[in-house]
Amino acid sequence: MAVRTIQWNNNHVVMLDQRLLPNKEIYRVYRDYEGVAQAIRDMVIRGAPAIGVAAAMGVALGALWVKGKNFDREIERIFRTLERTRPTAVNLFWALERMRRIYIEKRSHGVDVVKQLLKSEAIKIYQEDIAANRQLGKFGAKLLGSSSRILTHCNAGALATAGYGTALGVIRAMKEAGKNVEVLANETRPFLQGARLTAWELKKDKIPVTLLTDNMVGYVMQKGRIDAVIVGSDRIAANGDVANKIGTYSIAVLARRHNLPFYVAAPTSSIDLKCLSGAEIPIEQRDAREVSHIFGRAITPRGVRILNPGFDITTHDLVSAIITEKGVITPPFAQNIRAYVNHP
Protein backbone atom coordinates (compact mmCIF):
# COMPACT_ATOMS: atom_id res chain seq x y z
CA MET A 1 0.00 0.00 0.00
CA ALA A 2 1.13 3.54 -0.76
CA VAL A 3 2.66 5.57 2.05
CA ARG A 4 0.04 7.58 3.96
CA THR A 5 1.58 10.56 5.73
CA ILE A 6 -1.65 12.15 6.88
CA GLN A 7 -5.34 11.32 6.80
CA TRP A 8 -8.62 12.77 7.97
CA ASN A 9 -10.32 9.89 9.71
CA ASN A 10 -13.59 10.04 11.60
CA ASN A 11 -13.07 13.66 12.70
CA HIS A 12 -9.51 12.94 13.79
CA VAL A 13 -6.22 13.59 12.05
CA VAL A 14 -3.89 10.61 11.75
CA MET A 15 -0.21 11.10 10.97
CA LEU A 16 2.68 8.75 10.42
CA ASP A 17 5.38 9.82 12.89
CA GLN A 18 8.26 10.59 10.51
CA ARG A 19 10.71 11.11 13.37
CA LEU A 20 10.74 7.38 14.02
CA LEU A 21 11.25 6.19 10.45
CA PRO A 22 12.72 3.96 9.15
CA ASN A 23 12.85 1.89 12.33
CA LYS A 24 9.27 2.23 13.50
CA GLU A 25 6.02 2.85 11.62
CA ILE A 26 3.82 4.52 14.23
CA TYR A 27 0.59 6.34 13.38
CA ARG A 28 -0.50 9.04 15.84
CA VAL A 29 -4.06 10.22 16.27
CA TYR A 30 -4.71 13.95 16.85
CA ARG A 31 -7.96 15.11 18.37
CA ASP A 32 -7.26 18.85 18.71
CA TYR A 33 -5.58 21.61 16.72
CA GLU A 34 -2.93 22.22 19.40
CA GLY A 35 -1.73 18.66 18.86
CA VAL A 36 -1.56 19.18 15.09
CA ALA A 37 0.42 22.42 15.57
CA GLN A 38 2.82 20.64 17.90
CA ALA A 39 3.22 17.80 15.38
CA ILE A 40 4.22 20.30 12.67
CA ARG A 41 6.68 22.04 15.03
CA ASP A 42 8.18 18.74 16.18
CA MET A 43 8.52 17.32 12.63
CA VAL A 44 6.13 14.41 13.17
CA ILE A 45 5.02 15.67 9.77
CA ARG A 46 7.31 17.71 7.54
CA GLY A 47 7.73 18.61 3.87
CA ALA A 48 6.09 21.72 2.43
CA PRO A 49 2.86 20.34 0.91
CA ALA A 50 2.34 17.92 3.82
CA ILE A 51 2.51 20.67 6.41
CA GLY A 52 0.06 22.72 4.33
CA VAL A 53 -2.40 19.82 4.45
CA ALA A 54 -1.76 19.33 8.17
CA ALA A 55 -2.42 23.02 8.89
CA ALA A 56 -5.68 22.93 6.91
CA MET A 57 -6.80 19.80 8.77
CA GLY A 58 -5.74 21.47 12.04
CA VAL A 59 -8.12 24.36 11.34
CA ALA A 60 -10.96 21.99 10.45
CA LEU A 61 -10.32 19.93 13.58
CA GLY A 62 -10.10 22.99 15.83
CA ALA A 63 -13.30 24.45 14.39
CA LEU A 64 -15.23 21.25 15.10
CA TRP A 65 -14.83 21.68 18.85
CA VAL A 66 -15.47 25.42 19.13
CA LYS A 67 -18.70 26.45 20.85
CA GLY A 68 -20.96 28.80 18.87
CA LYS A 69 -20.68 31.92 20.98
CA ASN A 70 -16.86 32.03 20.98
CA PHE A 71 -16.50 30.99 17.38
CA ASP A 72 -14.87 34.10 15.89
CA ARG A 73 -12.38 34.54 18.73
CA GLU A 74 -11.46 30.87 18.85
CA ILE A 75 -11.04 30.47 15.11
CA GLU A 76 -8.60 33.40 15.14
CA ARG A 77 -6.63 31.67 17.88
CA ILE A 78 -6.51 28.48 15.78
CA PHE A 79 -5.20 30.33 12.71
CA ARG A 80 -2.60 32.19 14.78
CA THR A 81 -1.32 29.01 16.44
CA LEU A 82 -0.94 27.15 13.15
CA GLU A 83 0.67 30.14 11.39
CA ARG A 84 3.46 30.16 13.97
CA THR A 85 4.55 26.56 13.53
CA ARG A 86 7.18 26.76 10.76
CA PRO A 87 8.17 29.83 8.74
CA THR A 88 9.71 28.78 5.41
CA ALA A 89 7.28 26.55 3.50
CA VAL A 90 4.70 28.85 1.93
CA ASN A 91 2.28 25.96 1.45
CA LEU A 92 1.37 26.27 5.13
CA PHE A 93 0.32 29.92 4.72
CA TRP A 94 -1.30 29.18 1.35
CA ALA A 95 -3.45 26.44 2.91
CA LEU A 96 -4.37 28.62 5.89
CA GLU A 97 -5.33 31.41 3.51
CA ARG A 98 -7.68 29.05 1.65
CA MET A 99 -9.25 27.98 4.94
CA ARG A 100 -9.62 31.59 6.05
CA ARG A 101 -11.35 32.49 2.81
CA ILE A 102 -13.96 29.76 3.39
CA TYR A 103 -14.46 31.00 6.93
CA ILE A 104 -14.91 34.63 5.87
CA GLU A 105 -17.13 33.91 2.88
CA LYS A 106 -19.40 31.36 4.59
CA ARG A 107 -19.53 32.73 8.13
CA SER A 108 -23.00 34.17 7.59
CA HIS A 109 -24.41 30.67 6.92
CA GLY A 110 -23.98 29.75 10.60
CA VAL A 111 -21.41 27.90 12.67
CA ASP A 112 -22.48 24.36 11.78
CA VAL A 113 -22.32 25.03 8.05
CA VAL A 114 -18.88 26.66 8.39
CA LYS A 115 -17.56 23.68 10.38
CA GLN A 116 -18.63 21.29 7.61
CA LEU A 117 -17.24 23.52 4.87
CA LEU A 118 -13.87 23.86 6.62
CA LYS A 119 -13.68 20.09 6.86
CA SER A 120 -14.51 19.68 3.15
CA GLU A 121 -11.95 22.32 2.19
CA ALA A 122 -9.18 20.58 4.17
CA ILE A 123 -10.00 17.27 2.49
CA LYS A 124 -10.07 19.03 -0.88
CA ILE A 125 -6.60 20.51 -0.27
CA TYR A 126 -5.39 16.99 0.55
CA GLN A 127 -6.94 15.46 -2.59
CA GLU A 128 -5.79 18.28 -4.86
CA ASP A 129 -2.22 17.87 -3.66
CA ILE A 130 -2.15 14.20 -4.69
CA ALA A 131 -3.67 15.06 -8.08
CA ALA A 132 -1.13 17.90 -8.58
CA ASN A 133 1.76 15.57 -7.79
CA ARG A 134 0.53 12.95 -10.25
CA GLN A 135 0.17 15.60 -12.94
CA LEU A 136 3.55 17.23 -12.35
CA GLY A 137 5.03 13.74 -12.26
CA LYS A 138 3.83 13.16 -15.81
CA PHE A 139 5.25 16.49 -17.03
CA GLY A 140 8.53 15.74 -15.28
CA ALA A 141 8.81 12.22 -16.66
CA LYS A 142 8.53 13.64 -20.18
CA LEU A 143 11.05 16.39 -19.48
CA LEU A 144 13.65 14.11 -17.96
CA GLY A 145 13.43 11.86 -21.02
CA SER A 146 16.29 9.42 -21.07
CA SER A 147 18.01 10.58 -17.86
CA SER A 148 18.18 7.56 -15.64
CA ARG A 149 20.58 8.31 -12.77
CA ILE A 150 18.94 11.05 -10.76
CA LEU A 151 20.23 12.83 -7.69
CA THR A 152 17.80 14.15 -5.10
CA HIS A 153 18.19 15.94 -1.77
CA CYS A 154 16.08 15.77 1.40
CA ASN A 155 12.71 14.07 1.03
CA ALA A 156 10.29 15.40 -1.57
CA GLY A 157 8.30 12.20 -1.70
CA ALA A 158 4.98 10.76 -0.61
CA LEU A 159 6.00 11.47 2.98
CA ALA A 160 6.47 15.18 2.28
CA THR A 161 3.12 15.61 0.52
CA ALA A 162 -0.43 14.27 0.71
CA GLY A 163 0.88 11.42 -1.45
CA TYR A 164 3.02 10.41 -4.46
CA GLY A 165 5.56 13.21 -3.98
CA THR A 166 6.98 16.03 -6.08
CA ALA A 167 10.61 15.21 -6.95
CA LEU A 168 9.93 11.56 -6.12
CA GLY A 169 6.59 11.88 -7.94
CA VAL A 170 8.58 12.54 -11.12
CA ILE A 171 10.71 9.47 -10.39
CA ARG A 172 7.55 7.38 -9.77
CA ALA A 173 5.99 8.64 -13.01
CA MET A 174 9.19 7.74 -14.90
CA LYS A 175 9.01 4.24 -13.51
CA GLU A 176 5.31 3.97 -14.38
CA ALA A 177 6.19 5.06 -17.94
CA GLY A 178 8.54 2.07 -18.14
CA LYS A 179 11.79 4.02 -17.88
CA ASN A 180 14.82 2.64 -16.11
CA VAL A 181 15.49 4.93 -13.22
CA GLU A 182 17.95 4.89 -10.37
CA VAL A 183 17.97 7.43 -7.55
CA LEU A 184 21.03 8.78 -5.76
CA ALA A 185 19.81 10.19 -2.46
CA ASN A 186 21.75 12.54 -0.21
CA GLU A 187 21.53 11.71 3.46
CA THR A 188 20.64 15.38 4.24
CA ARG A 189 22.36 16.37 7.44
CA PRO A 190 21.39 17.15 10.11
CA PHE A 191 17.83 15.76 10.18
CA LEU A 192 18.61 12.91 7.75
CA GLN A 193 15.45 13.15 5.65
CA GLY A 194 17.31 11.50 2.76
CA ALA A 195 18.83 8.63 4.71
CA ARG A 196 15.77 7.93 6.83
CA LEU A 197 12.82 8.89 4.64
CA THR A 198 13.73 8.99 0.93
CA ALA A 199 15.63 5.70 1.16
CA TRP A 200 12.71 4.17 3.09
CA GLU A 201 9.94 5.15 0.71
CA LEU A 202 11.90 4.30 -2.44
CA LYS A 203 12.84 0.89 -1.08
CA LYS A 204 9.18 0.30 -0.22
CA ASP A 205 8.32 1.04 -3.89
CA LYS A 206 11.22 -1.10 -5.14
CA ILE A 207 12.88 1.86 -6.88
CA PRO A 208 16.67 1.42 -6.91
CA VAL A 209 18.28 3.90 -4.52
CA THR A 210 21.90 4.55 -3.55
CA LEU A 211 22.60 6.68 -0.51
CA LEU A 212 25.38 9.32 -0.43
CA THR A 213 26.55 11.56 2.37
CA ASP A 214 26.04 15.18 1.38
CA ASN A 215 29.74 15.83 0.84
CA MET A 216 30.05 13.10 -1.83
CA VAL A 217 28.06 14.92 -4.51
CA GLY A 218 31.03 16.61 -6.23
CA TYR A 219 32.97 13.36 -6.40
CA VAL A 220 30.03 11.41 -7.81
CA MET A 221 29.29 14.09 -10.44
CA GLN A 222 32.95 14.20 -11.43
CA LYS A 223 32.83 10.44 -11.97
CA GLY A 224 29.94 10.93 -14.42
CA ARG A 225 27.50 8.93 -12.36
CA ILE A 226 24.62 11.45 -12.34
CA ASP A 227 22.46 12.51 -15.33
CA ALA A 228 20.21 15.08 -13.65
CA VAL A 229 19.28 16.60 -10.29
CA ILE A 230 15.69 16.95 -9.09
CA VAL A 231 14.57 18.49 -5.80
CA GLY A 232 11.37 19.81 -4.24
CA SER A 233 10.85 23.30 -2.85
CA ASP A 234 9.46 25.04 0.21
CA ARG A 235 8.93 28.38 -1.47
CA ILE A 236 9.60 29.73 -4.94
CA ALA A 237 9.95 33.50 -5.32
CA ALA A 238 8.53 35.53 -8.21
CA ASN A 239 11.93 35.61 -9.93
CA GLY A 240 12.36 31.80 -9.75
CA ASP A 241 14.72 31.72 -6.74
CA VAL A 242 14.04 28.50 -4.84
CA ALA A 243 14.10 27.81 -1.10
CA ASN A 244 14.71 24.17 -0.31
CA LYS A 245 16.47 22.05 2.31
CA ILE A 246 19.89 23.31 3.37
CA GLY A 247 22.51 21.95 0.96
CA THR A 248 20.39 22.36 -2.17
CA TYR A 249 22.27 25.47 -3.29
CA SER A 250 25.66 23.72 -3.13
CA ILE A 251 24.28 20.89 -5.27
CA ALA A 252 22.95 23.38 -7.83
CA VAL A 253 26.38 25.03 -8.07
CA LEU A 254 27.99 21.63 -8.58
CA ALA A 255 25.38 20.68 -11.19
CA ARG A 256 26.22 23.85 -13.16
CA ARG A 257 29.95 23.07 -12.94
CA HIS A 258 29.28 19.60 -14.38
CA ASN A 259 26.75 20.71 -17.01
CA LEU A 260 23.93 18.75 -15.42
CA PRO A 261 20.30 19.90 -15.49
CA PHE A 262 18.95 21.05 -12.13
CA TYR A 263 15.17 20.65 -11.89
CA VAL A 264 12.74 21.77 -9.20
CA ALA A 265 9.44 19.88 -8.89
CA ALA A 266 6.74 21.66 -6.90
CA PRO A 267 3.01 22.33 -7.01
CA THR A 268 2.01 25.93 -7.75
CA SER A 269 0.99 26.22 -4.08
CA SER A 270 4.76 26.52 -3.43
CA ILE A 271 5.06 29.70 -5.52
CA ASP A 272 4.95 32.94 -3.56
CA LEU A 273 4.67 35.96 -5.83
CA LYS A 274 4.76 38.22 -2.77
CA CYS A 275 8.44 37.36 -2.40
CA LEU A 276 10.12 39.09 -5.30
CA SER A 277 13.38 37.22 -4.78
CA GLY A 278 14.82 34.53 -2.55
CA ALA A 279 16.28 37.21 -0.28
CA GLU A 280 12.74 37.85 1.02
CA ILE A 281 12.06 34.22 1.96
CA PRO A 282 12.29 33.62 5.73
CA ILE A 283 14.80 30.89 6.54
CA GLU A 284 14.03 28.77 9.60
CA GLN A 285 16.91 28.63 12.10
CA ARG A 286 16.74 25.34 13.92
CA ASP A 287 17.97 24.01 17.27
CA ALA A 288 21.75 23.64 17.52
CA ARG A 289 21.22 20.25 19.13
CA GLU A 290 20.30 18.77 15.75
CA VAL A 291 23.90 19.41 14.71
CA SER A 292 25.68 18.80 17.99
CA HIS A 293 23.94 15.53 18.83
CA ILE A 294 23.14 12.31 17.01
CA PHE A 295 20.41 10.18 18.58
CA GLY A 296 20.84 12.02 21.87
CA ARG A 297 24.65 11.67 21.95
CA ALA A 298 26.92 14.71 21.75
CA ILE A 299 29.36 14.61 18.81
CA THR A 300 30.87 18.08 19.27
CA PRO A 301 32.83 19.73 22.07
CA ARG A 302 30.46 21.26 24.59
CA GLY A 303 29.78 24.98 23.97
CA VAL A 304 31.06 25.10 20.38
CA ARG A 305 29.23 27.67 18.25
CA ILE A 306 26.83 26.07 15.78
CA LEU A 307 24.86 27.18 12.74
CA ASN A 308 21.71 25.36 11.77
CA PRO A 309 19.71 27.05 9.00
CA GLY A 310 17.02 24.65 7.82
CA PHE A 311 16.92 25.89 4.22
CA ASP A 312 18.93 27.76 1.61
CA ILE A 313 18.19 29.70 -1.57
CA THR A 314 19.15 28.42 -4.97
CA THR A 315 19.22 31.44 -7.25
CA HIS A 316 17.13 31.17 -10.42
CA ASP A 317 20.16 31.30 -12.73
CA LEU A 318 21.06 27.80 -11.51
CA VAL A 319 17.60 26.32 -12.13
CA SER A 320 16.97 24.61 -15.49
CA ALA A 321 13.19 24.33 -15.11
CA ILE A 322 10.41 24.30 -12.51
CA ILE A 323 8.01 21.39 -12.96
CA THR A 324 4.48 22.16 -11.74
CA GLU A 325 1.06 20.53 -12.16
CA LYS A 326 0.20 23.26 -14.67
CA GLY A 327 3.23 22.65 -16.85
CA VAL A 328 6.99 23.13 -16.98
CA ILE A 329 8.20 26.69 -16.32
CA THR A 330 11.40 27.58 -18.13
CA PRO A 331 13.63 30.68 -17.90
CA PRO A 332 13.29 33.61 -17.90
CA PHE A 333 11.33 32.80 -14.72
CA ALA A 334 10.58 36.40 -13.74
CA GLN A 335 8.64 36.66 -16.99
CA ASN A 336 7.16 33.17 -17.22
CA ILE A 337 6.23 32.24 -13.66
CA ARG A 338 3.17 34.51 -13.29
CA ALA A 339 1.20 32.76 -16.00
CA TYR A 340 1.17 29.57 -13.91
CA VAL A 341 -0.10 31.04 -10.67
CA ASN A 342 -3.62 32.18 -10.04
CA HIS A 343 -3.39 32.96 -6.34
CA PRO A 344 -2.27 36.44 -5.17
Q: Closest approach of Cβ 267 to ligand MRU, in Å?
A: 8
* CA distances, 168 to each of 151, 178, 181, 265, 340 (Å): 10, 15, 11, 9, 21
Least distance from ligand MRU to the Cβ atom of residue 161, Å: 5
Q: DSSP class of residue 178? A: T
* DSSP SS3 for 151: strand
Binding mask 154-193 for ligand MRU (x = CB under 6 A): x-x---xx----x--------------------------x
Which residue stretch of 40-48, 120-128, 203-211, 289-297 sits at the interface with ligand MRU (rule: CB under 6 A)? Answer: 40-48
342, with CB counted inside 10 A (0-12, 13-18, 19+), is exposed
DSSP helix/strand/coil, 267: coil
Contact call for residue 337 and ligand MRU (CB under 6 A): no
Distance CA 235, CA 269 (A): 9
- Which one of residues 21, 44, 47, 94 is an interface residue with ligand MRU (CB under 6 A)? 47
Q: Cis link prior to 309 (omega < 30° from 0)? A: no
Which residue number, 31 or 41, has a Cβ lying nearer to ligand MRU? 41
Give exposure, 75-88, as e/b (b: 16+ Cβ within 10 Å). beebbebbeebbbb
Of residues 196-255, which lie at the interface with ligand MRU (CB under 6 A)?
A: 232-234, 244-245
Range 138-157, binding ligand MRU (CB under 6 A): 154, 156
- CB of 201 or CB of 227, closer to ligand MRU: 201
Q: Which amino acid is at 274?
A: K
CB of 128 to ligand MRU, least distance (A): 14
Residue 234 is among the residues annotated as catalytic for this protein? yes
CA-based nearest residue to 1, from 151, 158, 145: 158
Q: Which is nearer to ligand MRU, 138 or 245 (CB)?
A: 245
Minimum distance of ligand MRU from residue 63's CB (angstroms): 25
Residue range at the interface with ligand MRU (CB under 6 A); choices 44-52, 66-74, 170-178, 323-331: 44-52
| Beta carbon of residue 58, minimum distance to ligand MRU (angstroms, whole number) | 16
Nearest Cα to 88, choosing from 240, 266, 280, 263? Answer: 280
Catalytic-role residue among 234, 241, 272, 312: 234
Q: How far is the CB of 245 from ligand MRU (least distance, A)?
A: 3
| DSSP alpha helix (H) spans, 205-281 | 217-222, 248-257
Q: Residue 15's beta-bridge partner residues?
A: 6, 28
Q: Cα(208)–Cα(210) distance, rounded to whole angstroms?
A: 7
| Cis omega (within 30 of 0) for bond into 301 | no
Nearer to ligand MRU, 89 or 321 (CB): 89
Residues with catalytic roles:
234
Binding site for ligand MRU (CB under 6 A): 46-49, 89, 154, 156, 160-161, 166, 193, 232-234, 244-245, 310
